[in-house]
């Protein structure tokens, strides 16, 4: 992800990286706790920054795809309204 080219302060990038560095979690099932699991990718489900981080990742993916392909279109102007009956 190109955070440094997005005019985001490097201190914020460093702090955000530290939130995701060496993340560990566990799972509960049938009142039993799993062992510790290392989380190496993805966003925190309860993180207040997760929506913004997701948008930055999608923007980076969009820019990468657009730079590698000439026939790719991103946007909503091609969408048509669909009405559903109940």
Averaged over successive runs of 10 residues, the pLDDT of the chain (86 residues) comes to 68 83 89 92 82 84 79 62 63
- Res 27: pLDDT: 92
In the block, tokens 């997005």 appear at 6
pLDDT the model gives residue 36 = 94
Q: Is residue 78 part of a domain?
A: no
Question: What is the value of pTM for the model shown?
Answer: 0.55
57-69: per-residue pLDDT in tens?
888 888 887 788 7
Is 80 part of a structural domain of the chain? no
Confidence at residue 58, expressed as pLDDT on a 0 to 100 scale: 84
Q: Is residue 18 part of a domain?
A: yes
Buried-exposed string 14-27: b where 16+ CB fall within 10 A, e elsewhere: eebeeeeeeeeeee
CA angle 27, 34, 45 (to 5 degrees): 20
Provide the domain limits for residue 33: 3-68
Q: Are 37 and 24 in contact (CB under 8 A)?
A: yes
β-strand 28-29 against 37-39: which pairing, if any?
unpaired
Determine, yes or no, domain membership for 26: yes
Domain count, the chain: 1
């Amino acid at each position: 992800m190109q955070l440094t080219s997005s005019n985001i302060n490097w201190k914020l990038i460093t702090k955000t990286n530290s939130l995701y560095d060496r993340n560990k979690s566990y799972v509960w099932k049938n009142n039993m706790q799993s062992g510790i699991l290392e989380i190496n990718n993805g966003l925190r489900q309860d993180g207040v920054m997760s929506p913004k981080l997701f948008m930055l990742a999608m923007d980076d993916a969009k820019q990468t795809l657009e730079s590698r392909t000439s026939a790719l279109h991103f946007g909503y102007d091609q969408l048509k309204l669909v009405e559903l009956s109940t």
